[in-house]
Amino acid sequence: MKLDPWGAVDITDYSKLFDEFGIAPFETIISEISNPHLYMRRQIIFGHRGYQTILEAMRNKTPFAVMSGFMPSGRIHLGHKMVMDEMIWHQQMGAHAFFAVADMEAYSVRNISWKKCVEIGINEYVLSLIALGFESNGRIYFQSKNPLVKDLAFELGMKTNLSEMGAIYGFPGETHVSHMLSTLIQSADILQPQLAEYSGPKPVVIPVGADQDPHIRLTRDIASRMRMFKVEPRECYISVRARAANKAAMRAIADRMEGKTRLYAEHLDIYDNDDMTVIESIVREVEIEHGGCGFYQPASTYHRFMSGLTGGKMSSSNPNSIIALTESPDVAAAKIKKAKTGGRITLAEQRRFGGEPQKCTVYELLMFHLLEDDEQLAEIFEKCRDGGRTCGKCKALAVELMSSFLKEHQEKRELAKERLDEFGLKI
């Protein structure tokens, strides 16, 4: 197996995602980003769907959006921070940002009361989001308080059915309908930034962990099914096909098109013009004029998960496996001191055989969250493998950096309490 400083977590589990599910590798497009985020540089973001639309928008300075959200179900920890960092990075790149507190999902799937949803949603997630740098031109909302999302979910429901939901989510017959509805609400979260209220269709990226991919795939499909027209390149022409016949709209497309066109009852063939971008934008424009939605398929990025500090998965039900963003620095330090490393049993063995940073949760902390400097990180990796570094040293470094991060973050959370009204929220 190839080892490199950014490959600290075994990525073999993820290769299935490329082959079986058609997630595209992020590595091959990273050179198109002028100042990639640390997660991109270090291949923590390893895959994407449709991110070209976002690259294009960033390049051409045309509108785009970033959207993600969480169920308000427990303490906010470093895993959530990753999504938030990615959202904020895109916001800084010019994206209109949307953050959903998925209270309808938490209520219907996890039985969390509405009152608790507000408490946890604000005190855990929203305060940290703002503290991490979410800017006030972004939108933070609770699903249950958002009529646009609820209305859209109802419409999207016409584009899927029970057997599809069952196939994607594995719902057995007993699953109640509101649980199923919450998946449509999530699709509506994802498509909301493209509504006329937010000035219409635009590329949107959803940064998520790979576990959320089923939602993304369904929503991409639903977005296409909502379209009036489908544009497809053929051998020697481009075809615009109507999903629901609309003669007037089809004629309007033909009238605006450069090149030779042939108009049929349900499709239009375009010759001598292979500019897909222009064709797509004309079709979208006409579609909107005729009452359609013109949605882009939402794009997504996928990041690897950090391991829990105790080895295995990070899970709120095992408090020692996570570091909460509200944790006191002392408690965090104690967790780091007990964390599973890739060190050998004795110091002598460590010197002789070297450590295994690729299996080390302390190294992961440094790589994912604490060390900005790529060179310093690579140096630690090399030294560890050569047996020239002790785990004590890494732990001390991680404790120091984590304490200062937590202190600063928690101060910013206090300041964020005073800023909730900028987002139309209150405690």
Residues that bind ligand SF4 (CB under 6 A): 341-343, 355, 357, 360, 362-363, 380, 384, 389-391, 394
Residue bearing tokens 């900028």: 422
Phi/psi for 303 (5° steps) reads -115, 155
Give dist(CA 262, CA 269) in Å, integer: 5
Residue 186 binds which of ligand SF4, ligand TRP, none (CB < 5-8 A, kind-dependent): ligand TRP
Binding track over 201-240 against ligand TRP, x by CB under 6 A: -----x-x---x----------------------------
* Per-residue contact string for residues 11-50; x = within reach of ligand TRP by CB under 6 A: ----------------------------------------
Strand order in the sheet with 229-233: 229-233, 238-242, 267-271, 260-263
Sequential DSSP letters for 154-217? HHHGGG--HHHHHHHH---TT--HHHHHHHHHHHHHHHGGGSGGGTS---EEEEEEGGGHHHHH
Is-contact 102 179, C-beta < 8 A? Answer: no
Our finding on whether 124 is near ligand TRP (CB under 6 A) is no
Q: Write out the binding residues for ligand TRP, residues 55-114 only, by CB under 6 A.
A: 67-71, 100, 102, 105
Q: Between residues 390 and 403, which has the closer beta carbon with respect to ligand SF4?
A: 390
What are 276-285's contacts with CB under 8 Å, separation 24+? 276/231, 276/233, 276/238, 279/231, 279/238, 279/240, 280/231, 282/253, 282/256, 282/257, 283/229, 283/231, 283/240, 283/253, 284/201, 285/256
Annotate 214-237 with DSSP letters as a single string.
HHHHHHHHHHHHT-SEEEEE-SSS
CB of 205 to ligand TRP, least distance (A): 10
Q: Which does 68 bind (CB under 5 to 8 A by kind): ligand TRP, ligand SF4, none?
A: ligand TRP
* Three-state DSSP state, 151: helix
CB of 400 to ligand TRP, least distance (A): 32
Among 190, 218, 309, 370, binds ligand TRP (CB under 6 A): 190
Distance between CA atoms of residues 349 and 329, nearest Å: 32
Q: Which does 189 bind (CB under 5 to 8 A by kind): ligand TRP, ligand SF4, none?
A: ligand TRP
| Residue 189 touches ligand TRP, criterion: CB under 6 A | yes
Minimum distance between the CB of residue 71 and ligand TRP, rounded to whole angstroms? 4
Give yes or no for residue 160 binding ligand TRP (CB under 6 A): no
Beta carbon nearer to ligand TRP, 66 or 397: 66
In the complex, minimum distance from the CB of residue 380 to ligand SF4, in angstroms, rounded to a whole number: 6
Residue 140 or 238 having the CB closest to ligand TRP? 140
Per the DSSP assignment, residues forming a β-bridge with 47 are: 25, 302
Q: Which of residues 290-349 bind ligand TRP (CB under 6 A)?
A: none
Binding site for ligand TRP (CB under 6 A): 67-71, 100, 102, 105, 186, 189-190, 206, 208, 212
